[in-house]
Every structure is written in structure tokens, then in C-alpha cells.
Amino acid sequence: MTGIRDFMRRQSLIIDRVGWAVTLVPPDPDDSTAAFAYTVGLTAHDHPELLIAGLNPAIAQQLLNDLAARVYDRAERFTHGQRISDLIAGYDATIVAGPPTEQLHPGDAFARYGQRQVRLQQIVWPDQAGRLPWDDGYAYLPATQPVIAHP
């Protein structure tokens, strides 16, 4: 249990200093689940935690930090189905709100705040043609970018 306590303590230090932390969850090669990342700390300020799936961890962390800074520092609010044109160069991302799934489960946020307190918004990224996972012709398999909801 010392490892978990140390992790939570280090995470708390980051949240105290920045306002949130980002947790990276690697893919599970045994069941082909996608990597994902999510914020922890926005719940304490009555904002949804942000989540993104299927990207390189460094890119996911950067995108989450960019959007979390807008939420935390400028109190920006995003709505279900909202397009964000200035997050990913040359593409529109879409925000969806919904419950966690078996694949996209923000365990650290739930451990810190309780599952009933945590709200989620996912940043959904398009393929190179601008199509999203729920669009016909999306270039990637559904397991590449699982989603918590459709707009």
C-alpha cells in the first residue's frame, strides 16, 4: 500500500501546485484496449474531469493540460457536442460528456473524489479527413479511440 500512498501524495502535490494532474493509462496488450489519459483535480473546482483516448501519452498529456488550463485558469466551460477548433492544429476536436465505461475508467479521480462526484468530458479527435469515430468512413478501428458518448 505504500506505493499507492506515495502516488496519491505526489499527485496531491501536483494538484496543489497546478490545479490538476494528468494520469496516463497504458494500453493493455492482452485485451487490445487503447491507451488513455485523464485529469484529476478539476472536480474539486466543480468542473468535469477531462479524458482523451488513443493517442501517444505525451500528446494526450499536452492536449489535456492545454484544455485543463482553460478550464482552471479561465473558467471556460465546454458542452456536450461542442467543437473545439483551436486545440489540435488543422482539426476540430469534439467534446462529449458521459459516464465512464469499462475501457475508460478514471480510477484515480474516483478514488480521490468518489464516483458520484466525478463528471467526465472526453476530447474526441478526428481522423485525417476530419471524421469522428461515429462518422461513416472513420479511418480507425473503434478500439483505437473508444468514446464515452456520441453527440
Q: Is the pLDDT of residue 55 over 90?
A: yes
> How would residue 1 be classed by pLDDT, with cut points 50, 70 and 90?
low
Entry pTM: 0.94
Domain of 45 in residue numbering reads as: 2-128
Domains in the chain, number: 1
Classify residue 103: in a domain, yes or no. Answer: yes
Q: What is the pLDDT of residues 100-118, one digit of tens each?
A: 999 999 999 999 999 999 9
In a domain, 104, yes or no: yes
Averaged pLDDT for residues 128-144 = 95
pLDDT of res. 86: 94
- Residue 150 sits at the vertex; the CA angle it makes with 115 and 132, to the nearest 5 degrees, is 125
DSSP 78-131: --TT-EEEEEETTEEEEEEE----SSS--HHHHHHH-TTT--EEEEE---TTS-
Domain assignment present for residue 143? The answer is: no
